[in-house]
Amino acid sequence: MDIRSRTLVLLASMLLIVNYVETMVIPALPTIESDFSVSATLVSWVTSAYMIVAAATSPLMGKLADTYGKKKMYTIAIGFYIVAVAMAGFSPNIWFLLTARAIQGVGFSMFPIAIAIITDLFPREKVAFAQAILSAMMGIGPAIGLLLGSYIVQDLGWPYAFHTAAILSLILFVLSEKYLPHTGHRKQQKVDYIGASLIGLATVLVLVYVTEGPTLGWTSLDNLDFLISGIILYGVFFAVERKIKEPLLKLSLFKIRNFAVANITGLVSGVGMFTVFIFLVYYAQLPSPYGLGLTIIQSGLLMSPVALGMVIFGPIFGRLMPKVGPRPILIIGSILSALAYLSLLFYRSTIPEVLFGALLSSVGLVAVIIPLVNMVALALPDEARTTGMGMNTLLRTIGGAAGPVVATSLMDTYQQPIIMMYNNQPLVLGLVPSSTAFDYISIFGFIMMILTLIASLWTKNYTFRARKVETEVEEAK
């Protein structure tokens, strides 16, 4: 196996484990809530703590990778992850678990670093295909997490999911340390820790506002304090970055059209894409006739087309992109995702209809992700590539956090009673999201993907001539 193939296998395997663990946590939440005797609101932070720290630290870890070397920071990120999953598996209480999950968030920075390594190592006409393989792990991992995670939680207990991930991560850490090559050109410069702290803290505050919106209320003063403080810190960050000699990321780089477009579409599409996941998971498990009435394991099987679509079409789009460029594929992905929402709006009464919508959304999802990642990786100079990938990850994470919150808010707003006849009298057993809620979720997702389509029209296209390294990428800057 040559160095490129070996590197791709190592990076893809680690990302597979990461995405498996993050999805496995979802079916485990009710059990964790019961084991630690805590509220549903507190246990929801098992996922939120990871997501928030991942978004906040990605730009800094990217900058450190550009400064001190990608391999070095990649293995450090894996080290954080190993320590965190090992801690999580032995958590004596909820606070210990939340701390471990936050540390896991630091480890997530391995994703933008991995993309940068691939961009350095592969010829530019093959970069998109290699990036597509890594992006496909974002589909395969969740599918495995939903399926195996459900069985592990049910038969062994949720700590064992963390135990197995720790062992596998440790093996890949050793292999990465031995076989992963040093790539790119390091640029020794002062790391802007002030800027990294400002944007990190601002992101934490904004995501806390989004996460706590359904609990504290969107307009409550307690929650608005988080949002206002976050916005102010973002303003301070931009002011500081304009004056500092060696900023975290030169703001002038946002003048590169494709870098700007990739970040805008990443934010907007993130909202739309993650909304459909919440739609599918909740609708599948609602009792019939309000939903499909599936079990957790059956709903995991329902989500398998999402992984299948990414596995099949990811490499196809990856091979196609050097020939046609990112713009057509981004447009196709936006349209397919929008059509998926329309399909779920009008056709969702049977499992095959929902399966069709899920498969269509997965193809649209991978068709959007691959061009965005490629545009950021190739638009930026080598010394700023990983930092830029970290910034893009931050924005996509913010979008990904907002999507589920919108969906769950609509489900909490529009509900209907479950009525059972008892002694010829109607008996209300509880409340479930109504059909109107899922209609509005579909409409909201459709609007987000149309906005993604509009933004993608500003993409400056570039292609690669066969068997030539010379490209038109420089013209797209």
Q: Quick one: DSSP state of residue 172?
A: H
Distinct helix (H) and strand (E) counts, the chain: 17, 2
Over pLDDT 90: what percentage of the chain?
A: 18
279 by Cβ neighbours in 10 Å (0-12 / 13-18 / 19+) ranks as buried
Question: 1-190 architecture in CATH?
Answer: Up-down Bundle (1.20)
Q: Topology of 252-477 in CATH?
A: Growth Hormone; Chain: A; (1.20.1250)
For residues 396-414, give the mean pLDDT.
77
Q: Could you tell me which residue, 346 or 283, shows the higher pLDDT?
A: 346
Q: 380 phi and psi, to 5 degrees?
A: -95, 150
Residue 81 confidence (pLDDT): 92
Kindly state the average pLDDT of the residues 133-141. 73
Q: Determine if residue 193 is left, alpha or beta; phi over 0 gives left, psi from -120 to 50 gives alpha, anything else beta.
A: alpha
Do 1-190 and 252-477 fold alike per CATH? yes
**pLDDT for residue 174:** 93
Grade residue 452 by pLDDT with cuts at 50, 70 and 90.
very high
pLDDT tens digits, one per residue of 211-258: 777 677 778 888 889 889 999 998 998 888 888 877 877 778 888 899
Q: Tokens 């992700």, residue? A: 369
The three-state secondary structure class of 229 is helix
pLDDT, residue 458, reads 92
20 vs 25: CA distance, rounded Å: 9
Residue with the bigger pLDDT between 273 and 80: it is 80
* Helix (H) / strand (E) containing 429: strand 425-433
pLDDT at 473 over 50: no
Cβ atoms of residues 372 and 265 within 8 Å: yes
Out of 69-78, 151-160, 441-450, which region has the weakest mean confidence (pLDDT)? 151-160
Any idea of the CA torsion for 213, 362, 299, 276, to the nearest 10 degrees? Answer: 20
Which positions ≥6 away from 209 have C-beta within 8 Å? 223, 224, 226, 227, 230
Higher local confidence (pLDDT), 138 or 179: 179
- Residue 300 binned pLDDT confidence (cut-offs 50, 70, 90): low
Write the pLDDT tens digit of every residue in 339-361.
999 999 998 888 888 888 888 88
- What confidence tier does 119 reach under pLDDT thresholds 50, 70, 90? confident
Can you give the pLDDT at residue 470? Answer: 44
Q: Domain-by-domain residue ranges, the chain?
A: 1-190, 192-247, 252-477
Q: What is the pLDDT of residue 467?
A: 46
